[in-house]
Structure 1
């Protein structure tokens, strides 16, 4: 038997209503200028994600899981997944500046040059993977210490 989902507190319902109102307002403002272009962009982004990106990162994830030769390889894959996801998210957000394909409006609006974004992104990516590798090494050392009692 399917049980009904209980309603939240009045504060939760109010916050949910406010978030829907804000999303609706943003949608109306977004679609007011060029609704056809925005709609095409959303449909194109969904198709690009589902038909191109999802198979790519699923295959990459499978390769990482298979490449880690251990009994808990799925858990160890998180040490690759998380920094990769954060790095790719930063790349997605800052791609025009990282790739050097920025409009002069950035310099006019920010008053800053876009030089160095690629170097900074590479440095952040290296720090993310280095920190993740350090955490994995610490975890493996701690696990080895707990497995061999009597040796300190």
Structure 2
């Protein structure tokens, strides 16, 4: 047998994956160069502060929150030979992550921390909190519907089939 020594064998993925990875590194390098052009010391201080805040405050906080959610939903490991099911806690994790991501991105507007927003844009800044709350409610509602559908599907697939009862002869 002839052994193939192609790129996929050596790299472990397709050439398209490698191309996309190299393009993303090039884009990140370009963005980094543009970002550091203005105030490099301020950017470095901001990144170090953000990393410390994340690692020392936020990571323990959301780890504890996730552990509490796991305890409340009763997450257990699947048996070794059993089928893999998505834990119920994921139906809380996903909408919470999306909601918090939107809050992190838009918090100045959601919390009305942008002075002069109306005069600069002509838009009403008072709508962002309500919209964020509506989106958060929609995320959790869709997640609850997905949980109900998964529970119903799992309930149907685990019910034993009933054999028709044999009629007794009199």
Shorter-chain TM-score range: 0.7 to 0.9
CA distance, structure 2, for counterparts of residue 103 and residue 66 of structure 1: 42
For the structure 1 residues 143 and 12, does the alpha-carbon distance in structure 2 shift closer, same or farther, using more than 3 Å as the test?
A: closer
Q: 2:87 aligns with which of 75, 84, 100?
A: 75
| Whole-angstrom distance in 2 between the partners of 1:139 and 1:60 | 24
Residue correspondences, number: 146
The answer on whether the counterparts of 1:31 and 1:38 sit within 8 Å (CA) in structure 2 is yes
Does the 8 Å CA contact 1:65/1:74 hold for their aligned counterparts? no
- Mapped partners of 1:138, 1:101: distance in 2: 40
1:85 aligns with 2:91: no
Structure that is richer in helix per residue: 1
Alignment of 1:2-151 (within 5 A): 5=11, 9=15, 15-69=20-74, 71=76, 75-104=87-116, 106-107=117-118, 110-148=121-159, 149-150=161-162
Deviation at 1:146, TM superposition (A): 2.2
| Structure index of larger Rg | 2
Q: Contact 2:110–2:129 (CA<8 Å) still a contact in 1?
A: yes
Q: Distance in 1 between matches of 2:150 and 2:112?
A: 39
**More off after superposition, 82-91 vs 69-78:** 69-78
Gaps of 5+ in 1: none
Q: What value does the CA root-mean-square deviation take over the aligned residues?
A: 2.5
Structure 2, gaps ≥5 residues long: 1-8, 79-84, 163-170
How does the TM-score come out when normalised to structure 2?
Answer: 0.74
TM-score, normalised via structure 1 length: 0.82
Q: Is the 8 A contact 1:79 1:133 kept in 2?
A: yes
Q: For residues 29-73 of structure 1, give each alpha carbon's deviation from its aligned partner in whole angstroms, at most 9, with x where no partner exists.
A: 111111111111100000000000000100000000010136579
